[in-house]
Amino acid sequence: MTKFFLDTNILWWYFVKNSKNHQPIKIYLDKLILDAQNSFIINEFVLIELFHLLIKKKANEGFKLASLLLNERYPFIEFKYDLIHISDLNSVLQILYKYGKNSSIGGRDSTIIHSMNRHKVKDIITNDKGFEKVELITVHNPLN
C-alpha cells in the first residue's frame, strides 16, 4: 500500500475543471484513486490554502466546492490536523532551518514535511521542485 501526500497545486488542478493542468492531473490521480492499495493525506495548511485559492478565484462556486471537501468524507483521503503543540512547531523550525535557506521550501512546505514525517509518508504528489531536495521523500510530478 502506498500513502501519498497531496500538495495544494495538485488538488487545485484536480478540482478546478477549467484550470490549465486539470486533465493530466485528473487522469493521473483517478488512476491512483481507483487502486484500493493507495491512500492520500493532506494537512490543515494545504486544506486552508486550497480553500483560499478556491474562494479567491472561483468565488461562490469555490466556496461550495471547499464546503463539500470539508464536510464530505472520502474513503481514500485523510485530513491530518498536526500542528497543535510547541514541539510540532519546533520540528517545523528545524525543517525550515535545514531546507529553507537553500531551496524553495517555505513555511507551508515545512508543515507538509512535518506531517509526512509524523505519519511515515514517503511519497508526495506535487509540481513543486523544492521537495526534490528533501531526503527520504519521493516526489511524483504528474506533469513531468
**φ and ψ at residue 30, rounded to 5 degrees:** -55, -40
Alpha-carbon gap, residue 60 to 76, rounded angstroms: 26
Q: What is the pLDDT of residues 29-59, one digit of tens each?
A: 999 999 989 999 999 999 999 999 999 999 9
- Whole-prediction pTM value? 0.90
Domains of the chain, CATH where assigned: 2-140 (3.40.50.1010)
Q: Is the pLDDT of residue 102 over 90?
A: no
